[in-house]
Structure 1
Amino acid sequence: MPASGTDVPLIPSGRSQAAHCHALRVRLPGGTSADRLAATFSEAVRAWWPQDAPDRLPRLWTERVPATPQGVASRVHAEMHRPVPAGSRLRAVLLSGPGGAADLILTAHRASLDMAALRLVADVLLGRVPVDRVRPQGPRWPRSRVLPPDWLDADLGGHADWAEGDPAAGESTGTVEVPLPGAGGAGVDTARLVVATAVVQARYEAVETPAIAVLTAFPGRPGTALGPFEGTTLVPVDVGGRGLSELVDRARQAVTAPQTWCDRSAYTEITRADGRGVRAGVCAVPDAPGRQGPDGLPLVLPCMDGAFDLTLVPGTGAQGDGVLTVHHRLREVDAASATRFARHVVTAYSALTAEGGMPDVALDIDLLDDAERRLLAHAGRSERTPEWTPRRLDDAFAQQAARRPEAVAITFEGEHITYRALDERADRLAAGLLAHGVRPGQRVGLCLDRSADLVAGMLAVLKADAVYVPMDPTHPADRLSYTAEDAGLALVITDTDAFAATSVPVAGPDELAAAGAHGAVVPPRRGPGEAAYVIYTSGSTGRPKGVVVPHRNVVALIAATREDFGLDERDTWTLFHSSAFDFSVWEIWGPLLTGGRLVVVPYWVSRSPGEFRDLLAQERVSVLNQTPSAFAQLVEADRGRSTRLALRLVVFGGEPLDTRALRGWFDRHPESDCRLVNMFGITETTVHVTAQTVTRREALTGSRSVGPALPGWRVHVLDERGRPQPFGAPGEIHVSGEGVALEYLGRPELTAERFLPDPFSGGRMYRSGDRGRLRPDGRLEHLGRLDNQVKIRGFRIELDEIRGVLLDDPAVRAAAVLVAGEDANDAAAVRIDAYVVLRGDDTAAVRARAATLLPGYMLPTTVTALRELPLTANGKLDTRRLPPPVVPRATTVPSAVPPSPSAAPGDAGAPVAELAGRLAEVWEAVLGVPVGPDDNFFSLGGNSLYAVRVAAAMSDRHLPPLPMRELYLHPTVRRLAAVLAPTARA
């Protein structure tokens, strides 16, 4: 910007001229001579800007307008909203109306002339101020404490996640108006309006210190200066850390005597303190009186358009009442969202100006009225109410068994078990449980590999009127022992010795069946509202905790989804997940309560995406349930396969879904053939809560919607004080309705903390600890855990944002981002590690692209390429088994593997020794460490991820196929080679 005098720049060529232009309308007395005004204007501009070429000097344009009030109003409105062209200092237009009335309209860009300067021009034309008393002059902007106007051409905003923007809108803007009591005439209090805007933005975007841009007059402005003496002050408002009275005082000080040095570094510090840009600007012109003329037309137009995503302009309406006009960029903010934002600003402003005194803190301001609360409550529940009768699970199964007794209920490793056979097997096991002394309401552990007996055992426990507690036999013995003791198990059905150190009785399925061969099952006495199962889940509370779920909840879940998903006896499902993971509740009871067939997936097949894909094709599975991480591996296994899958429905659950990763799947499996559904759920709310059909559109836009609530379920997004958040504003997800569990087993304090009374329906609701936002159409967006933010060297970082940037890279198929070294004493040791599944192996290119999209403090320190991400038994990302991050280095020299001592050239041991040597080379290439002939793969840092990578590398080198089971059973190169070598197999 200029240093002084006449060196005022022409208007910068910005992407939105109207965003920085303002206009002044002056009503002229009757009989005013247009020729005299034109001559005076010509004389003035030659005196003020003598260095400009004559053809570049402004001129006074005159125009007659239609002789009707409507014609005058239309022409005045159009002229006041027409921005000056780039390169022009000023536009002056004289509109002559009927009866000799005339309007002088002066328009300029703020970088050229401020509003006081426009008034000076009008005074000169009207003869109130001599031409020679007015001097072109500009402030020394780099030394000022306000943001120069030309900086506003930068995109200072971020993405308004709480709004439904239109990416195709470009730079188009819209305008909405809401009543603003107290804003008429000079009644607006700019400082209070700034704080009110900050309060709303803080609630909408979950930030503590939003920065509000405020139009500010330059301190010490010369009275007769002709220049740009208005700038924009960035006012950080610490909503979370100070009382409202202090916030208003600080804001008033900032807008009347700006204290922020707005050089580039200060600007960056202010606007990025919360990792956000400037969302809203307040344009409150100091000389507000008389903005509306007696004819109801504006006399002052503070801004024609919005410089920010939301630009708030207080003023007066046609009737002299207060109005808050909001200009909003359609690309970021739709009209409905802008209107809600404006209404909530008015609510906050009213609270700050109330006669009884303002609240103590920002959180005390309730933005919602009763009508909006009712809308939120309505949006959080489904319009449909399924017809269903609360029943016990075993009774609901018995109905299906009686209806189609000879239909296949379970398929496992080629064996088909009918509904009748499954029911009879469960009866014998139940009788065996009763013979072992199990009583109604007692808890029985199920620690079995995935098999038909696992399902029969669940039914048996329920038929015995007991409660089943599933446990994964692959879990460590200490965890199994803890679960058994914490649950107070009366018995464990198992064929392992994992419980030898406990006092809990154990029995195998066959033992129970033998004991119950001649016994009878006593009819259950407990009702559908009593516990059916207890699933242990980990979380932020430390040791695993048992979630107690009644029969009726699962029956309600099937009833809520049956019609929409078209679930019936024609479907074939898979049991893919561990029974200790609540996703399996849906997988097991979904088919058994709708008459379908359940294919039990053996453990080793579930760990091998290729074999699992073959099983899906062989069994013609139609309904598949997957975590997104597991499905990503299946998608890769599906590439290049010629056999068609019979899938018609894929349900995602268990972890957040990044819809962008599904684009490749849609290329092979059109939406018309296979429906994809993203479901958000929690163990404590019975597996699923919402459902969102995912189409190619969601995949292309990266939608985070998990859909509306299931029929019978209700979702609420509440703030930290338990009040509903506005539509689009983030908060904690609470769930009420049919799916809410009974309690945490033996944890009354935790139960009371997380299971709360539902003030909206009178029932109970679960406080999830998940962040989300509710859309006006009832869709819920899941935003991760409340504790999903990290802070590194003072910067607050959302790891999902980094992951999203990585996934946008066409070379990246999957990604995970972690923070390492948080416990280090040296802050510089804290780093961000990224793991990516690539098409190719150029991690340097991935990091270079990320560097173009992320600030330095968010750029991953390392990017490690993996064949696929490791998963837990539940199919979620297993961060504990991610390998150490790879720092680019020279390739190591493979270690030689000596042949077996008995191997001589030409004998059978030679192929084994040769294969062992080649295996060692593969292991070293994958693990990045030297490998000896008897080193254990897993002791070297190997895991299921590396196992898949080893198998792929072996295939690339034309080595024998590697069954996952063999690697786990023979985890050294010498032993594995002995199994895989052709001569060994022969």
Structure 2
Amino acid sequence: MDAGDTGWLRGDPGPDRPAAHTVAVPAGTDLAALVAAVGAVLARYRGVRRARVGAVVDERLAVVGVPVDGGARDLLATAAATGSPWPAPGGAPPAGLLDVEAGVLDATSPADAYRPCLAPLWPLTLALAGTTLTCHHRTAGWSGDLVAAFARQVVRVLGQVLADPDRPLAGHDLFDDAERAAIVALGRGPGGPPPAVDTIAHRVARHARRRPDAPAVSCAGQRLTYAQLDARATRVARALAAHGVAPGDRVGVCLDRSVDLIAVLLGVLRAGAAYVPVDPAYPAERIRYTVEDSGVALLVGGGGIDPAGLTAGPDDAAGEEPAAGGPDDTAYVIYTSGSTGRPKGVCVPHRNVLALVDATAGDFGLGPADVWTMFHSSAFDFSVWEIWGCLLTGGHLVVVPHLVTRSPQEFHALLAAERVTVLNQTPSAFAQLLDVDRRAADRLAVRLVVFGGEPLDARMLTGWFDRHPERECRVVNMFGITETTVHVTAQTLDRGLALAGSRSVGRALPGWRVYVLDPDGRLLPPGAAGEIHVGGAGVADGYLHRPELTAQRFRPDPWAGGRMYRSGDRGRLLPDGRLEHLGRLDDQVKVRGYRIELDEIRQVLLDDPGVLAVAVVVQTGVESADTRLHAYVVLADPAAADAATAADAETAAGTATAVGARAATGALAEVRRRAARMLPDYMVPATVTALPALPLTGNGKLDTARLPAPAEPPAPAPAPAADAALDERIRAVWQRVLGAEVGPEDNFFDLGGNSLLALRLLNELRDQGLADLTPRHLYVHQTVRGLAEAIGAAR
């Protein structure tokens, strides 16, 4: 078997020592049957259909390919005819010892103390002597517990092979009932909150009655107490009802960050409806699609109902409180990227949100003394945790203005001024805050940092622990999915885990369940990588208007009842029950914390009448800010196609070459502009490159290895002499940050710039003594020349 991903071996980080584990095997076991059993188990661990197992008998060495889609009879017959479980000489050639992860050998010897050579031939070497199977391993490569489990599984499959050699090896069961139950229990969160009997709005109203004068929400100088927030939400609910909104309806909310945004969201829930958050920064076409697809009864903001008409009036408004539905009613519908080329709405009921808060409040110590920030867009499900995690536990929610989220300096100052105690961040955003915090004189009051939205490189936290020791600030890495209500697992990190670069996202939350399954939907043993499935309290009700997709992704949970969500994420359960997240299995990627599907970007580009074919790839950099999306298109314009053909002499030889930038600049610019009108900024490709044809493999699939480097903009025009020196210095910084040629009139964001790269650019401009700017300057002056003029005027 290939020795590629060996992370599942989980050896002891201490001194490397030889070790052995011995088990009994059925009488009559021969080497061929053992090779078949080992191959079947290895294939399950590695997720392959053909396992490669090393084998030695009579001093002959070979690597045996064990196809698990077939039975063991052919392998056994070969062994009977040739005396070995591999083809006779002249068949499969010997292979190097490092080509396989595990192997077997004939250890028949009159001495009981037989050892294979001076050390095991392979990381795991199974020696067969009569009815005794000895598993030799190095402790730095394999843990003793995993070796013991692996040996049990081999023996169990071996019995099935001997009993039924015609049964496909992939169909053999690795576990007995007790071991299967133990694996299921391993992924189950401890205990669980009681079933919800009320709603989000009821819970918040309870806090308003108990602590009416406590601060509830603030933003940019505006503050509401719990009594004022409750009264304003009640007024919104009545106004919605007056506009015809009924319980069970959906209401679109397209508002900038403000205290009114929170009041409107709560008011929608108070009216018994579900809110559909729409980010007003999204392109008009995407907003229109979300509104039309969700079938909202009313849109607040974004060209719909003016929120002032819903929230205006005295904060002590009296009257009968509108009915707010029950825990099984939908609380919100959040749209996520869709593999069908269109976003899909995820329907999440009240009970899920209440279960999430109830499952974490005690462990995290959440309560009225806490001050939270709402840093993320209401259309990003991380905001569900920020808003309701705070208000359902009686805390004070500080809504962060959009431009402040783009300035780490201003955000850090806000954290200090508001004495924020609970901070929720994507790793990308937190990386920018780290640099500011390291240089800041103000000490933050943050006692809890929660990471989510994208994978965390824990090594970045060592500097944070220098200023905020674990005893003062708890740092938690959480894995979650929109379809499972924000968070699924939690891992508290310390300096040791940070130095080790731990990829653990921890154990399942109380009430949640985690399974790691193979492509056939069977449980995998601890340590083996497969697809993460999530069951329990957080599983959403499905996709809005997508019954087929719901049936495909939300499946029956055969071990605990109810449903589980097939995540598309790759991971492994560790023997102690913690989950390691290993990335995506499909076409989804994370860009700046947002989960996106490349197919959605492809579909938008293909909808352009000027485009015939599209490929979209993601380029992952060392840091999150360096992650870029690049698109490759075949243009329908004959002139552009002719230019592509003329410039592409290498394509005929089998290598794709980018069309010259000048030949297709206008058409490509229009393609990208149209995509920007349809897609949020984090989904707009940094570059669009024209090709005469997409490179294909022999079986007709896209050959990404033959895609050329992304096209660069045309050579810049020279700057006017008066500003040449300053322009040139600024342009040089832009080129280093963007990794592309930049002209004086090129737009930073059109060249693939994003908010994280903007921060890097401004930091470098400051470090070189050119200017100390905020992100506002770059959003207003988006070209080299415009920024140079602004700097010159300031000087």
**Higher Cα radius of gyration:** 1
In the other structure, the counterpart of 2:30 is: 189
In the other structure, the counterpart of 2:88 is: 257
Say which of 145, 151, 155 aligns to 1:336.
145
CA contact (8 A) 1:935 1:973 kept: yes
* 1:509 aligned onto 2:322: no
* 1:528 aligned onto 2:528: no
How far residue 953 of structure 1 moved from its aligned partner, in angstroms, is 3.4
Distance 1:819 1:697, change over 3 A: farther
* 1:657 aligned onto 2:480: no
In the other structure, the counterpart of 1:234 is: 63
Distance 1:879 1:975, change over 3 A: closer
In the other structure, the counterpart of 1:603 is: 402
CA contact (8 A) 1:574 1:623 kept: yes
Say which of 932, 941, 958 aligns to 2:769.
958
How far residue 710 of structure 1 moved from its aligned partner, in angstroms, is 0.6
TM normalised by structure 1 equals 0.66
What SS is found at the alignment partner of 1:880? Answer: coil
Measure, in 2, the Cα distance between the counterparts of 1:163 and 1:926. Answer: 39
How far residue 167 of structure 1 moved from its aligned partner, in angstroms, is 2.3
How far residue 157 of structure 1 moved from its aligned partner, in angstroms, is 5.2
Measure, in 2, the Cα distance between the counterparts of 1:955 and 1:486. Answer: 45
How far residue 199 of structure 1 moved from its aligned partner, in angstroms, is 1.2
How far residue 338 of structure 1 moved from its aligned partner, in angstroms, is 0.2
Say which of 738, 746, 754 aligns to 2:553.
754
Say which of 295, 298, 303 aligns to 2:112.
298
For residue 25 of structure 2, what is the amino acid of its counterpart? L
In the other structure, the counterpart of 1:547 is: 346
How far residue 663 of structure 1 moved from its aligned partner, in angstroms, is 2.7
How far residue 814 of structure 1 moved from its aligned partner, in angstroms, is 7.7
Measure, in 2, the Cα distance between the counterparts of 1:661 and 1:579. Answer: 27
Measure, in 2, the Cα distance between the counterparts of 1:157 and 1:929. Answer: 42
Q: Per-residue CA shift, 1:414-463, capped at 9, x if unaligned?
A: 32221111111111221111111111111000111111111111101011
In the other structure, the counterpart of 1:280 is: 102
Q: Per-residue CA shift, 1:888-907, capped at 9, x if unaligned?
A: 99xx99932355xxxxxxxx
Distance 1:821 1:326, change over 3 A: farther
For residue 175 of structure 1, what is the amino acid of its counterpart? A
Measure, in 1, the Cα distance between the counterparts of 2:724 and 2:794. Answer: 11
Say which of 197, 200, 207 aligns to 2:41.
200
Measure, in 2, the Cα distance between the counterparts of 1:875 and 1:178. Answer: 58
For residue 880 of structure 1, what is the amino acid of its counterpart? P
Measure, in 2, the Cα distance between the counterparts of 1:267 and 1:951. Answer: 53
* 1:582 aligned onto 2:387: no
In the other structure, the counterpart of 1:420 is: 227
CA contact (8 A) 1:177 1:326 kept: yes
Distance 1:595 1:525, change over 3 A: closer
In the other structure, the counterpart of 1:458 is: 265
CA contact (8 A) 1:216 1:256 kept: no
Measure, in 1, the Cα distance between the counterparts of 2:5 and 2:750. Answer: 46
* 1:309 aligned onto 2:116: no
CA contact (8 A) 1:960 1:981 kept: no
CA contact (8 A) 2:76 2:85 kept: no
Measure, in 1, the Cα distance between the counterparts of 2:382 and 2:93. Answer: 53
In the other structure, the counterpart of 1:148 is: none
How far residue 256 of structure 1 moved from its aligned partner, in angstroms, is 6.1
Distance 1:661 1:919, change over 3 A: closer
In the other structure, the counterpart of 1:636 is: 435
Measure, in 2, the Cα distance between the counterparts of 1:488 and 1:821. Answer: 34
CA contact (8 A) 2:275 2:333 kept: yes
Measure, in 1, the Cα distance between the counterparts of 2:680 and 2:449. Answer: 15
Please show how residues 88-237 of structure 1 align to structure 2 within 5 Å. Answer: 160-170=6-16, 172-182=17-27, 187-217=28-58, 230-237=59-66
Q: Per-residue CA shift, 1:927-958, capped at 9, x if unaligned?
A: 543524x5544345544344334323321342
For residue 199 of structure 1, what is the amino acid of its counterpart? A
More deviation, 942-951/702-711: 942-951
Distance 1:167 1:914, change over 3 A: closer
In the other structure, the counterpart of 1:324 is: 133
Q: Per-residue CA shift, 1:821-855, capped at 9, x if unaligned?
A: 79989775599xxxxxxxxxxxxxxxxxxxxxxxx
For residue 631 of structure 1, what is the amino acid of its counterpart? F
What SS is found at the alignment partner of 2:424? Answer: strand
Distance 1:926 1:346, change over 3 A: closer
Measure, in 2, the Cα distance between the counterparts of 1:688 and 1:976. Answer: 41
In the other structure, the counterpart of 2:530 is: 731
- Name the % identity: 50
What SS is found at the alignment partner of 1:542? Answer: coil
What SS is found at the alignment partner of 1:308? Answer: coil
CA contact (8 A) 1:444 1:493 kept: yes
What SS is found at the alignment partner of 1:169? Answer: coil
More deviation, 197-206/302-311: 302-311
What SS is found at the alignment partner of 1:200? Answer: helix
Q: Per-residue CA shift, 1:633-664, capped at 9, x if unaligned?
A: 22223232222121111111111222223233
In the other structure, the counterpart of 1:784 is: 583
CA contact (8 A) 2:432 2:756 kept: no
Q: Per-residue CA shift, 1:622-642, capped at 9, x if unaligned?
A: 111111222222222323222
Distance 1:752 1:510, change over 3 A: same
TM normalised by structure 2 equals 0.81
In the other structure, the counterpart of 1:107 is: none
Say which of 870, 886, 896 aligns to 2:719.
896
Please show how residues 24-63 of structure 1 align to structure 2 within 5 Å. Answer: none
What SS is found at the alignment partner of 1:762? Answer: coil
Measure, in 2, the Cα distance between the counterparts of 1:953 and 1:420. Answer: 47
How far residue 553 of structure 1 moved from its aligned partner, in angstroms, is 0.8
In the other structure, the counterpart of 2:758 is: 947
Q: Per-residue CA shift, 1:575-597, capped at 9, x if unaligned?
A: 11111111100000011011111
In the other structure, the counterpart of 2:275 is: 468
For residue 338 of structure 1, what is the amino acid of its counterpart? V
* 1:358 aligned onto 2:166: yes
In the other structure, the counterpart of 2:692 is: none
How far residue 477 of structure 1 moved from its aligned partner, in angstroms, is 1.1
Per chain length, whose mean CA-contact separation is higher, i.e. which structure has more relative contact order (CA < 8 Å, sep 6+)?
2
What SS is found at the alignment partner of 1:679? Answer: strand
For residue 720 of structure 2, what is the amino acid of its counterpart? V
* 1:399 aligned onto 2:221: no
CA contact (8 A) 2:10 2:142 kept: yes
How far residue 914 of structure 1 moved from its aligned partner, in angstroms, is 8.0
Measure, in 2, the Cα distance between the counterparts of 1:723 and 1:920. Answer: 55
Say which of 26, 49, 73 aligns to 1:245.
73
CA contact (8 A) 1:196 1:349 kept: yes
RMSD: 3.6
For residue 140 of structure 2, what is the amino acid of its counterpart? R
Distance 1:536 1:814, change over 3 A: closer
For residue 42 of structure 2, what is the amino acid of its counterpart? Q
Distance 1:820 1:466, change over 3 A: closer
In the other structure, the counterpart of 1:100 is: none
CA contact (8 A) 2:628 2:686 kept: no
CA contact (8 A) 2:374 2:387 kept: yes
Measure, in 2, the Cα distance between the counterparts of 1:877 and 1:705. Answer: 27
Q: Per-residue CA shift, 1:187-231, capped at 9, x if unaligned?
A: 2321221121111111112233332111133xxxxxxxxxxxx24
Distance 1:767 1:948, change over 3 A: same
CA contact (8 A) 2:47 2:518 kept: no
Q: Per-residue CA shift, 1:525-564, capped at 9, x if unaligned?
A: 6211111111111143431111111111111110100111
How far residue 674 of structure 1 moved from its aligned partner, in angstroms, is 1.4
For residue 615 of structure 1, what is the amino acid of its counterpart? L
